[in-house]
Chain A
C-alpha cells in the first residue's frame, strides 16, 4: 500500500489558464473521488468514479471542470479558464468495496493558486 499520490503538490497559474492535476489511487481500489477544500471548510465533494465510469458530479462542478479516469487507474482533473475562485486544495481519495462502508484514503492534495 503506497498510498494515494497526487501531482503536482502546488500549482500557481494566471487567471484564464488551463491546469491539469493527476491522481494515482491505491492500486486495488475501484473507487476514486475528487474533493475541493478551502480555508476553514471541510472537503467538498466534486465527483467520483467507480472503475472508469464517472458516476456522479456535484452541481458545484461547472462546465470548466472535467475529470477522467481512463482504464480505471489514475485520474486527471482539468480546470479550463481558471478563475480566482478556483484557488483551493484539490484532494483525491480512493476506496475499495461494493457497499457504503468503505473509508476514503486521501492523498496530500494539490494546492492551486490562481493569480
Chain B
C-alpha cells in the first residue's frame, strides 16, 4: 500500500536548467508535505515543506507546489547545480492518527555540468 508515490526513479538535468520532481499521494488525511534530500552514506536531510492550506512555498532555489484536488506535489529547483545531485524523497504526514511521516521511494537527480 504505497500512500506516497514517486514514479520517476531518476531524472537527468543540465546545470542551470530547471529540475522538476513529482510526487503523488493517495491518503486524503495527509496535510503536511515535505521534501528530503539524501547523499550517499548520509541520512536524509530536510529540504522544504508545505502545509495543505497553501499551494506554494518557496525557499531560495527550491519551490514546492501542492495541488490538493489532484493529490499531487512537485519540487522545482531553479537553477539546478551539480551539488544538487542526490536522491530526493517526497514525504507526507497526517493531521490525525499520530505523527508518523510516510516516504516515497525517491527520485535520483543527476545534474550535469
Contacts and interface: CB of A to CB of B under 8 A. Distances in A.
B46 A42 contact: no
A103 B46 contact: yes
Contacts of B106: 40-42
A106 interface: yes
Nearest to B4: A42
Contacts of A107: 43
A106 B105 contact: no
Contacts of A93: 43
A4 B43 contact: yes
Interface in A75-115: 91, 93, 95, 100-109
Interface stretch (A11-19, A43-51, A61-69): A43-51
Nearest to B99: A100
B98 A55 contact: yes
Given A41-B105, A100-B31, A48 B100 contact: yes
B49 interface: yes
Interface residues of B, number: 29
Interface in B65-113: 89, 91, 93-95, 98-106
A31 interface: yes
Given A91-B43, A101-B32, A45 B93 contact: no
Interface string B19-46: 0000000000001101010000111111
Contact of A100 (B42, B93, B104): B93
The 7 closest A-B pairs by CB, nearest first: A106-B43, A42-B103, A103-B46, A56-B98, A43-B103, A45-B100, A100-B32
27 contacts: A35-B103, A40-B9, A40-B106, A41-B105, A41-B106, A42-B6, A42-B89, A42-B91, A42-B104, A43-B44, A43-B103, A45-B101, A48-B98, A48-B99, A50-B99, A56-B98, A91-B43, A91-B44, A93-B43, A95-B99, A100-B32, A100-B95, A100-B99, A101-B32, A102-B99, A103-B34, A109-B43
Interface of A: 4, 31, 33, 35, 40-45, 48, 50, 55-56, 91, 93, 95, 100-109
